[in-house]
Amino acid sequence: MDLGAHSSWWHSAVVYEVYPMSFYDADGDGVGDLRGILAKVDYIAHLGVDAVWLTPIYPSPWADNGYDVADYLSVHPAFGTLDDLYALRDALRARGIRLVLDLVFNHTSDEHPWFQAARLDPRSPFRDFYYFHPGIRGEGGERRPPNNWGSFFGGSAWTWDEQAQAYYLHLFDRKQPDLNWDHPPVRQALADIARTWLVRGVGGFRLDVINFIGKPWGLPDGRPEPGSAYAYNLDLLDREKVERYVGELYRAVKAQNPEAVMIGETPGVTLAEALRWTRPEAPILDMVISFDHVSFDGEEGNKWRPLPLDVGRFKEIWTRWQKGLSGRGWWAPYLGNHDQPRPASRYVRDGAYRAAGAVALHVLLFTAYGTPFLYQGEELGLPNAGFSSLDDYRDVESRNAARFFREAGMAEGEILALLGRRSRDNARVPIPWTDGPAGGFTRGIPWISPHPRAEELHVARQLADPGSLLAATRALIGLRRAFPAAAYGPFVPLEDVGGEAPPEVFAYLRPAVLAERFASNGADVGPSSEEGERKPSFRTSLVARPGTLLVLVNLSPAAAEVFVPAWLAAHDPEPVFCSRPAGGSVSSSGVFEHGVLWGARLPRGSAARSPGFCGGEGSCEFFAAETCLGRAARLGRATLSLDPYEARVYVLGGA
């Protein structure tokens, strides 16, 4: 499918996020490395992804696992050398996969030479690279930080520096001083770094917390968080600055290589901003990583005050973003990453259905509008690591939080339960490759405890099992490739065309209509009004072209009924993917778990773009789960019932 003037490779891409510390350790020092990733490129290629995003690989004191960069243009010795990175780039390229680097431009490490020079000498040309401030006097004459901003990792966002004789601003750890983007030489230096990486052949960038660079003029106090002295309100950010400065960087990168992708990580971004920042006619980013769907399950958005999972709310948010961006902007749908709990634990309410739930989640992800991001280990359905001792936690955020909770009088068991649910380390433990020691991740001692369920969920086992989540994930990525509407088609909830689905069932169409309209009229495509969506002419346009998808995903541990309007059922939808829980078993860790039965049937020739995808054969019949596909075939009835965590994808008008 051709997006015309606005078409780019990432519109049809799937991105795989690699966390190098925990992917694979080639040299046995217990920390994953670039040569480790190189050793596993065939595994990555086998997934069928188009790009690999590497979280930071630069020299760093590792106060925040590399998000504290001491040198933007080199490689941390623990990860290898620049030549190792080039070897990885080339090996990926040979398999049609681009390398995307993480640019952490909101802050540096305090050990970066810029900060070292700045703190030493008030007249240093680097002093204005950061936010230094003498502070203000409190009522008793004591020295205080200039405002009430809190650090996301605890305490004030200002630290007094003896050497500098001033406070400096750090929205994250004190070892991560924020850069001052109002100072033109900062923007110049950062653009130069990006350009250097382009010359070095990377395929684009993921820009860490890039909207945080828009600090409001005058650095005013914010509204303190309930029960806290500190403010974290992101609505204070100066959007005008974000547009100007990020737009400048975007254009500098595109001028050098229009093919390079610019992915913005933008905590707190609203749908309106996402639309504005990614509009095809004047973007400042190619896509945004948004946070609404990963902050709804904490009281007031606070991750440390978790709420019970509300799937209906999750569906509302997901649907709002999918529908809102359709044809107008671009999104980076994801369910997890190195900062979030594991999706299989977070979004699957009943642990007994974890396996089927994980497949259902991947149906959502790989039939989503935008560029799906899959984080390492999600293809295995790894649940949260959930350590049994506080000493096992490594993350600065978790350790600070644990200290804070202990001081506040929280019992050890309670703290463990909270971290087991929320810590970033839940998703940062090594990938289990085999059933060997440390899951085959290293021959040394791993830098963090291995996953407690490594033995049953490891890669080797899932590679050998055609019914595994790994196999299902691969089939779903293939399905996305075979049906471009899964990427480009507008997202039309079944309710908008006269259907009905309960709150915990995602039911939507992905019509094969968008591409040409996106190209010819980028700013205004997709359904216009709810009214119009029910009209016969609108319905006809939805199914006018072959390749329209109907997706049904039951994300609840109860059976559910979906009403499919007769006009839609009359289009004789053919099942191309289905999954549902199958029987039950007790896992080695004693957890009762339903297995999963799934099947996929893709059109002939659809494997063309991923070599080896169908085992070298022309047809793409994946897994003869006839009971599953056969059952799903009975869509003729207006009301159909779905099993707990059952998911189905139909194609209308012929595959």
Using CA atoms, how far apart are residues 135 and 87, in angstroms rounded to an integer?
A: 48
- Binding pattern to ligand TEU, positions 169-208, x when CB under 6 A? ---x-----------------------------------x
CB of 31 to ligand TEU, least distance (A): 17
Check residue 450 and report its DSSP letter: P
Using CA atoms, how far apart are residues 237 and 211, in angstroms rounded to an integer?
A: 8
572-601 residues in contact with ligand TEU (CB under 6 A) are none
CB of 150 to ligand TEU, least distance (A): 12
258-277 residues in contact with ligand TEU (CB under 6 A) are 267
Residue with smaller CB distance to ligand TEU, 64 or 273: 64
CB of 64 to ligand TEU, least distance (A): 5
Tokens linked to 119:
């703190």
598-637 residues in contact with ligand TEU (CB under 6 A) are none
Query: If you search the block for the tokens 């075939």, which residue do you land on?
Result: 633
First CA to last CA distance, the chain: 14
Among 51, 57, 69, 104, which residue sits at the site for ligand TEU (rule: CB under 6 A)? 104
Is 539 strand, coil or helix? helix
Would you mind telling me the total number of residues written for the chain in this entry? Answer: 655
Q: Assign residue 147 a region: left if phi > 0, alpha if psi is -120 to 50, beta otherwise?
A: beta
Q: Which of 131, 88, 130 is nearest to 113 (CA)?
A: 130
CB of 327 to ligand TEU, least distance (A): 28
Element containing residue 374 per DSSP (H, E): strand 373-375
Residue with smaller CB distance to ligand TEU, 424 or 594: 424
Q: Which of 514, 614, 494, 630 is nearest to 564 (CA)?
A: 494
CB of 172 to ligand TEU, least distance (A): 4
- Binding pattern to ligand TEU, positions 327-356, x when CB under 6 A? -----------xx-----------------
Is 247 strand, coil or helix? helix
Tokens linked to 624:
């003869």
Using CA atoms, how far apart are residues 84 and 63, in angstroms rounded to an integer?
A: 24
Using CA atoms, how far apart are residues 131 and 106, in angstroms rounded to an integer?
A: 12
Among 127, 175, 293, 303, which residue sits at the site for ligand TEU (rule: CB under 6 A)? 303
DSSP letters for 583-631: EEEE-TTS-EEEEEEEEEEE-TTTTTTSTTTTTT-S-EE----HHHHHH
Residue with smaller CB distance to ligand TEU, 374 or 454: 374
CB of 348 to ligand TEU, least distance (A): 21
Does position 67 bind ligand TEU by CB under 6 A? yes
Residue with smaller CB distance to ligand TEU, 214 or 493: 214
Residue with smaller CB distance to ligand TEU, 208 or 646: 208
- Binding pattern to ligand TEU, positions 409-428, x when CB under 6 A? ---------------x----
CB 416 within 8 A of CB 429: no
- Binding pattern to ligand TEU, positions 149-168, x when CB under 6 A? ---x----------------
Q: Contacts with ligand TEU: how many residues (CB under 6 A)?
A: 13
Does position 209 bind ligand TEU by CB under 6 A? yes
CA torsion, points 405, 411, 412, 416, in degrees to nearest 10?
-70
Please, which residues bridge with residue 231 across strands? 149, 224
Residue with smaller CB distance to ligand TEU, 160 or 304: 304
Give the Cβ contact number of residue 584 at 10 Å: 11
CB of 205 to ligand TEU, least distance (A): 13
Using CA atoms, how far apart are residues 391 and 349, in angstroms rounded to an integer?
A: 28
Does position 64 bind ligand TEU by CB under 6 A? yes
CB of 536 to ligand TEU, least distance (A): 46
Using CA atoms, how far apart are residues 147 and 337, in angstroms rounded to an integer?
A: 32
Single-letter amino acid code for the residue at 500: E
Active site residues: 208, 265
CB of 263 to ligand TEU, least distance (A): 12
Residue with smaller CB distance to ligand TEU, 91 or 169: 169
Residue with smaller CB distance to ligand TEU, 292 or 339: 339
Q: Which of 18, 16, 47 is nearest to 474 (CA)?
A: 47
CB of 298 to ligand TEU, least distance (A): 10
CB 130 within 8 A of CB 178: yes
Does position 373 bind ligand TEU by CB under 6 A? no
In degrees, to the nearest 5, what angle opens at C-alpha 448 toward C-alphas 444 and 454? Answer: 80
| Number of Cα atoms under 13 Å in the Cβ half of residue 108 | 25
Does position 17 bind ligand TEU by CB under 6 A? no
CB 309 within 8 A of CB 319: no
Residue with smaller CB distance to ligand TEU, 269 or 363: 269
Residue with smaller CB distance to ligand TEU, 298 or 498: 298
Q: Footprint of ligand TEU on this chain (CB under 6 A)?
A: 64, 67, 104, 152, 172, 208-209, 267, 303, 338-339, 397, 424
